Amino acid sequence: MTTLAPMMLSEGATDFVDDAAFEALLRDREPDAAEIRDLIAKSLGKEALSVEETARLLTTSDPELVDEIIEGARRLKREVYGNRIVLFAPLYIGNKCVNDCRYCGFRRSSPDAIRRTLSPEEIRRQVEALEDKGHKRLILVFGEHPQYNADFIADCVRRVYETRKGRGEIRRVNINAAPMDHEGYRIIKAAGIGTYQIFQETYHHETYDRYHPAGTRKGDYLHRLDGLSRAMEAGCDDVGIGALFGLHDWRFEVLGLIAHALHLQDRYGVGPHTISFPRLRPAVGLSCDGQPLVSDADFKRVIATLRLAVPYTGLILTAREKPEMRREAMAFGVSQIDAGSRIEIGGYTEAGDAQCLEREQFSLGDVRSLDEVMRELVGNDHIPSFCTACYRLGRTGEHFMEFAIPGFIKRFCTPNALTTLMEYLVDYASPETREVGERLVQTELDKIEQSRQKQELVDRLRRIRETEERDLYF
Ligand code: SAM
Ligand code: SF4
């Protein structure tokens, strides 16, 4: 076993996950209908729920009450956020890894994994390919390896922003990488990152230890749990949490996520920007038999419960899920999805449509192109958005503002969604997608009352259609 150097924690770092307390909450008596309805009403009244209250939503087994929870989430999504869906794509930079997470195709003991790290030139080519499809927001994904230190990650971020092809540009780069120390976060922040994501995988201690062998970097539960607290202390206040569903009881993981969100909110005055809840997928050397996999019905409860419990946090659902699940989940909770994703290293220029498990971390459930997903979204009255305005204007915590500031969505989010959609339709869409998209833009414009701002929006849409002007955000 290698000896690892001691790792710095945040000031007063605490392990806020009490397994026995969570389990007791989940064993509690079933709530009655009045209790569930009060909790749904509280959430619709724009208040976050506590861990104890969230547990009440999770303990009911009454199918009618479960339906009410999902309906409550649907209402919250519709009334508060409207029909926008933010789109992004993952870019896998390198799959070398010193860890041995039992579920991951990149783990160091995986004999079949083909190890590769994109060179600067290869990154440029991948980014150009993504820009050619119309992407504006990326998340860069890294294994954990000494080579992928903060300077390396910061260089990758800068290279992505520098790469421009035609009218294409990447306007926001998020990161999913190993936890850093304070200095590391400062270096990466200076490169202009958006959200820094770290998933705890499982909040249940014993399960965590089972999947992340001791003596590996990731084997230290508290160091990982504390990872985003250090980010906050270092000035990265835009962070994303997540759990990998299928390792332990899904109800427990939901409580862990809520406890984590509330912990960040209490300690730093700002909660996570996003929550991710990937379900375990087949990976090289991983058979999903015997895993406590989460059924579709339970997974919908995960999403609806999260939506109600933290109403002002973005929810991300990735292409690990099949198109049907993604379609449904957008209606009652999810606010961001990836599209046209390839997760094999170099996959945007090299791999074609086939999936190859030896080259990727796990297999995908939705391999449709960005254009197909865009066509479906606009056809179903969603406004796909590539908006990055808040981040670039320093309006951080935008999801919170959308939720808390009256009129914010009308003034900023919807107009920015429509202008970025128009850029996509004019510059990248297939003729069919453009046709359906233009119809949606008109329908959305018809919903907006006459005002100076509406005139300005109509004018900007015209300029995008008729001129080279781009990036006209409010
Ligand atoms: N290596 C870094 C880490 O572990 O934090 C960041 C990148 S890791 C490649 C991104 C995430 O992929 C992990 O946090 C984990 O939740 C998820 N993942 C790993 N194996 C998976 C699988 N078989 N199915 C679904 N998601 C998986
Ligand atoms: Fe490495 Fe991350 Fe995979 Fe674990 S999940 S083996 S840390 S890439």
Please tell me the predicted confidence (pLDDT) of residue 1: 47
Q: Which of 187, 120, 117, 170 is nearest to 148 (CA)?
A: 117
The predicted-structure confidence for 291-314, as pLDDT tens digits, reads as follows: 668 999 999 999 999 999 999 899
Question: How sure is the predictor about 393, in pLDDT bands with cuts at 50, 70 and 90?
Answer: confident
Ligand nearest to the CA of 97: 2
With a 6 Å cutoff on the Cβ, whether 113 touches ligand 2 is no
In this model, does residue 400 exceed pLDDT 90? no
Name the residue type at position 118.
L
Mean pLDDT, residues 405-419 taken together: 89
The residue nearest atom 2 of ligand 2, judged by CA position, is 143
In this model, does residue 3 exceed pLDDT 70? no
Q: Are strands 314-317 and 137-142 parallel, antiparallel or unpaired?
A: unpaired
C-alpha 97 to ligand 2 mean position (Å): 6
Mean pLDDT, residues 39-58 taken together: 96
What φ, ψ does residue 25 adopt, rounded to 5°? -60, -40
Mutate to test the pocket of ligand 2, among 96, 98, 100, 101 (most ligand atoms within 8 A of CB): 101
Please tell me the predicted confidence (pLDDT) of residue 351: 61
Please tell me the predicted confidence (pLDDT) of residue 148: 98
Average pLDDT taken over every residue of the chain: 93
* Under 8 Å between Cβ of 239 and 229: no
Ordered by start, the domain boundaries in the chain are 19-76, 80-392, 400-466
With a 6 Å cutoff on the Cβ, whether 201 touches ligand 2 is no
Half-sphere exposure for 245 (CA within 13 Å, toward CB):
26
With a 6 Å cutoff on the Cβ, whether 141 touches ligand 2 is no
Mean pLDDT, residues 75-96 taken together: 92
Mutate to test the pocket of ligand 2, among 93, 106, 202, 220 (most ligand atoms within 8 A of CB): 106
Question: How sure is the predictor about 102, in pLDDT bands with cuts at 50, 70 and 90?
Answer: very high
Atom index in ligand 2 nearest the CA of residue 217 equals: 7
Please tell me the predicted confidence (pLDDT) of residue 319: 94
C-alpha 96 to ligand 2 mean position (Å): 9
C-alpha 193 to ligand 2 mean position (Å): 21
C-alpha 240 to ligand 1 mean position (Å): 14
Name the residue type at position 312.
Y
Question: How sure is the predictor about 244, in pLDDT bands with cuts at 50, 70 and 90?
Answer: very high
267, 409, 370, 116: CA torsion to nearest 10: -20
In this model, does residue 262 exceed pLDDT 60? yes
* Under 8 Å between Cβ of 272 and 306: no
In this model, does residue 333 exceed pLDDT 50? yes
The residue nearest atom 19 of ligand 1, judged by CA position, is 104
Ligand nearest to the CA of 96: 2
Ligand nearest to the CA of 93: 1
Half-sphere exposure for 164 (CA within 13 Å, toward CB):
6
Atom index in ligand 2 nearest the CA of residue 104 equals: 3
Helix axes 19-27, 250-268, angle to 10 degrees: 120
Per-residue HEC secondary structure of the chain comes to CCCCCCCCCCCCCCCCCCHHHHHHHHHCCCCCHHHHHHHHHHHHCCCCCCHHHHHHHHHCCCHHHHHHHHHHHHHHHHHHHCCEEEEEEEEEEECCCCCCCCCCCCCCCCCCCCCCECCHHHHHHHHHHHHHHCCCEEEEEECCCCCCCHHHHHHHHHHHHHCCECCECCCEEEEECCCCCHHHHHHHHHCCCCCEEEEEECCCHHHHHHHCCCCCHHHCHHHHHCHHHHHHHCCCCCEEEEECECCCCHHHHHHHHHHHHHHHHHHHCCCCCEEECCECCCECCECCCCCCCCCHHHHHHHHHHHHHHCCCCEEEECCCCCHHHHHHHHHHCCCEEECCCCCCCCCCCCCCCCCCHHHCCCCCCCCCCHHHHHHHHHHCCCEEECCCHHHHCCCCCHHHHHHHCCCHHHHHHHHHHHHHHHHHHHHCCCHHHHHHHHHHHHHHHHHCCCCHHHHHHHHHHHHHHHCCCCCCCC
pTM of the model: 0.95
Question: How sure is the predictor about 289, in pLDDT bands with cuts at 50, 70 and 90?
Answer: low
Query: How big is the chain, counted in residues?
Result: 474
Question: How sure is the predictor about 4, in pLDDT bands with cuts at 50, 70 and 90?
Answer: low
The predicted-structure confidence for 142-175, as pLDDT tens digits, reads as follows: 999 999 999 999 999 999 999 999 999 999 999 9
Mean pLDDT, residues 81-90 taken together: 93
With a 6 Å cutoff on the Cβ, whether 207 touches ligand 2 is no
The predicted-structure confidence for 186-238, as pLDDT tens digits, reads as follows: 999 999 999 999 999 999 999 999 999 999 999 999 999 999 999 999 999 99
C-alpha 126 to ligand 1 mean position (Å): 21
The residue nearest atom 25 of ligand 1, judged by CA position, is 280
92 strand-pairing partners: 141
In this model, does residue 397 exceed pLDDT 70? no
With vertex at residue 62, the alpha carbon angle to CA 61 and CA 64, rounded to the nearest 5 degrees, is 140
In this model, does residue 447 exceed pLDDT 50? yes
Atom index in ligand 1 nearest the CA of residue 177 equals: 6
* Under 8 Å between Cβ of 428 and 133: yes
* Under 8 Å between Cβ of 88 and 338: yes
Atom index in ligand 2 nearest the CA of residue 143 equals: 8
* CATH code for the part of the protein at 80-392: 3.20.20.70
- Show the tokens assigned to 172: 């926001």
Please tell me the predicted confidence (pLDDT) of residue 173: 98
Please tell me the predicted confidence (pLDDT) of residue 358: 64
C-alpha 104 to ligand 1 mean position (Å): 6
Place of tokens 């996570």: 272
Mutate to test the pocket of ligand 2, among 92, 93, 97, 361 (most ligand atoms within 8 A of CB): 97
Please tell me the predicted confidence (pLDDT) of residue 293: 82
Mean pLDDT, residues 374-386 taken together: 96
The residue nearest atom 4 of ligand 2, judged by CA position, is 101
C-alpha 108 to ligand 2 mean position (Å): 8
Ligand nearest to the CA of 345: 1
